[in-house]
Amino acid sequence: TAPVATTLYYAVTSTVDGLEVVWVVDGQNMVSVDASSAAGAVDTDPMGSTKLLVLPVSAIMTLLGAAAVAISVTETRRRSP
């Protein structure tokens, strides 16, 4: 997905002798970064063989879920008097 904002703001800090120091230049301690080109650099295409494996993995997960429910119901019935 593309970034929400095209300009990002960062507070500029540095660590000196274990203490965080805020950098202030012209009364401001923020830096703006033009991120408008970042939207075009985002890779939205899936990697690998995702489309091929969706149905088999979904079927396996459904079977595992059904088996878990069946085992739980069986154990509950076995324990009840």
Contact status, residue 2 vs residue 20, Cβ threshold 8 Å: no
Q: What is the pLDDT of residue 60?
A: 96
Q: What's the pLDDT score for residue 31?
A: 64
| pLDDT single digits (tens) 26-56 | 666 666 666 666 666 666 666 665 677 888 9
| Start-to-end C-alpha separation, the chain | 55
Contact 35, 8 (CB under 8 A): yes
Residues 21-29, mean pLDDT to the nearest whole number:
67
Q: Which residue has the higher pLDDT, 49 or 19?
A: 19
pLDDT tens digits, 52-81: 788 898 999 999 999 999 999 998 888 877
R_g over Cα of the chain? 27
